[in-house]
Structure 1
Amino acid sequence: MTKRAALMLALMEPPPGLEEEFADWYDTEHLPQRRGLPGFVNGMRWVALEGFPKSLASYDLASLDALADPAYLAVSGANSTPWSRRLLARTARAGRMRVEVEQIWPGTATFLPPRKTARLLAARYADVPVQQQQAFADAANALAKTLPGLAQLRVFAGVRDAATELWVLMEFGAPVTLSMLAPVLGRIAGYGADVFNLYAPYDRDALR
């Protein structure tokens, strides 16, 4: 059976006073390390314009098996670097969420090149029954067609704390705002979003 393409998201809030070190850690150690692992198709960083936590790292995966690969396990959890363990402990207190989901729409698409994406919407919809997930994806696709500047829509499914969750990721080629998107996407097929964050591609120089 062919494994589904997958996605891992790491949403984190850098603690006050650690923003510069957090950026150094991600830019010089963590993201390059992840990008080189088997099954990691890409790795990108984003900064929240609206929503919480502020930092988002996204990783397209060949499948969720990448997270069980010995190469990944060798540099994760208790095997993480001392720098990673120290910073991750601090972000856990400030605000952190990890997401592991499989792509159910359109199938195997990956993130567009950063130069083609001005904004990214990441929205979570909880407790959508498995039998309703395809109808949800169809509804999201129909709604997306009404939005100006949409470059790509993807829908992902997973389980958190024994409950189902769907994530909708939309990449836009031009700036948009949550006030533009919420009336259309805040509720899809009867299910409301409990995470609804808008991001721009990470550019450290632009944040200085």
Structure 2
Amino acid sequence: MALSGTAAVVIWNDVTPEARAEFVAWHNREHIPERVSIAGFRRGRRGRAVSGGPEFFTLYEVESEAFLGGEYLRRLNDPTPWTRRVMPAFRHASRALCRVEFSLGAGVGGFVATAVLPELGDADATFRGALQRTAETLFAREPALTGLHFLRCDAGASRAKTAEHVLRRETGELPAGILLAEAGDAAPLADMVAGFTERMAGETGRRIETGRTAIYRHELCLSAGEVLPPWDGAPSMGGEGPAEGTA
């Protein structure tokens, strides 16, 4: 389906092997539910890499850029105890606050390709029109596609230093834009990303180069307002007794 809003937060990260189980528990039972409880945050998703990396990809769909400050910023500067324990185990982490340039969808696919775009043209009407035509053409010709989304990164907002930024030890590497392509099968996604950039070159007369591309299997999708069942707590990192600061 189309993204639920005109803004998005995109995060990639690896995690140390000994922390992986706790990362998943924390992400499932505290972190994504906490994020989608923020006003304007509509849906959170996580994927795990089947090709490329980093290992984990998280996408938050947000009503508008206005909701990327205020309460969200306060949460970033007041991490929970569980967050403070898990985030230092992140590796190769990057987070991009984005504006949605376009979004087409026919459902949430089982797999999503993320293609980093190191450079983008100006966000003028001509460029936006070429994006839209290219996306609509590809979507019409590729019935396996369930979603196609193009995001423009706000580098200044993404690099703002917060308590969580420090905990994650972010790389500082940010794309100019991000192309997301969803399908029920991972196999055609790399060709679909290539097809988009080729058609975009035909529309604009210049090619949009893609950098790092990875394909993720969707593991979790949680919408704002969904109620989670009770849970007894978190496994501790390394399996040594009960955890502090659980959800």
- Please state which band the TM-score falls in when normalised by the shorter chain: 0.7 to 0.9
**CA distance in structure 1 between the aligned counterparts of 2:102 and 2:150, rounded to whole angstroms:** 5
TM normalised by structure 2 equals: 0.67
1:171 maps to a residue whose letter is E
Which structure would you say has the larger Rg?
A: 2
TM normalised by structure 1 equals: 0.79
For each residue in 1:157-196, what CA deviation from the matched residue of structure 2 results, as whole angstroms up to 9, or x when unmatched? Answer: 1233699722111111334255544542466521211121
1:39 maps to a residue whose letter is G
Residues 1:103 and 2:114 aligned together: no
CA contact (8 A) 2:153 2:177 kept: yes
For each residue in 1:42-79, what CA deviation from the matched residue of structure 2 results, as whole angstroms up to 9, or x when unmatched? Answer: 1111111112111111110001221212x3233213x1
**Which of 195, 201, 205 is 1:184 aligned to?**
195
**Which of 162, 174, 177 is 1:166 aligned to?**
177
Change over 3 Å in CA distance of 1:177–1:85 after alignment to 2: farther
**Which of 151, 158, 161 is 1:156 aligned to?**
151
* Unaligned segments of structure 2, at least 5 residues: 158-173, 202-206, 221-247
**CA distance in structure 1 between the aligned counterparts of 2:44 and 2:175, rounded to whole angstroms:** 25
CA RMSD of aligned residues (A): 2.7
Q: What residue is the counterpart of 2:170 in the other structure?
A: none
CA contact (8 A) 1:48 1:55 kept: yes
2:145 maps to a residue whose letter is L
Q: What residue is the counterpart of 1:72 in the other structure?
A: 72
**CA distance in structure 1 between the aligned counterparts of 2:208 and 2:155, rounded to whole angstroms:** 17
2:177 maps to a residue whose letter is L
Residues 1:126 and 2:118 aligned together: yes
- Give, in angstroms, the shift of residue 201 of structure 1: 1.0
For each residue in 1:118-153, what CA deviation from the matched residue of structure 2 results, as whole angstroms up to 9, or x when unmatched? Answer: 211111212212146422443344344443401121
2:217 maps to a residue whose letter is A
Identity across matched positions, percent: 21
Change over 3 Å in CA distance of 1:74–1:160 after alignment to 2: closer
Aligned length: 191
* Further displaced range: 173-182 or 192-201: 173-182
Other structure's SS at 1:75 match: helix
Other structure's SS at 2:25 match: helix
**CA distance in structure 2 between the aligned counterparts of 1:144 and 1:52, rounded to whole angstroms:** 25
* Unaligned segments of structure 1, at least 5 residues: 204-208
2:80 maps to a residue whose letter is T
Change over 3 Å in CA distance of 1:43–1:182 after alignment to 2: closer
Moved over 6 A (4+): 161-164
**Which of 202, 211, 218 is 1:201 aligned to?**
218
* Further displaced range: 94-103 or 131-140: 131-140
Q: What residue is the counterpart of 2:241 in the other structure?
A: none
CA contact (8 A) 2:51 2:216 kept: yes
Equivalences for residues 39-58 of structure 1 within 5 A: 39-58=40-59
Change over 3 Å in CA distance of 1:141–1:126 after alignment to 2: farther
Equivalences for residues 128-143 of structure 1 within 5 A: 128-130=120-122, 131=124, 133-134=127-128, 135-143=130-138
Other structure's SS at 2:114 match: strand
**CA distance in structure 1 between the aligned counterparts of 2:84 and 2:127, rounded to whole angstroms:** 36
Change over 3 Å in CA distance of 1:9–1:183 after alignment to 2: closer
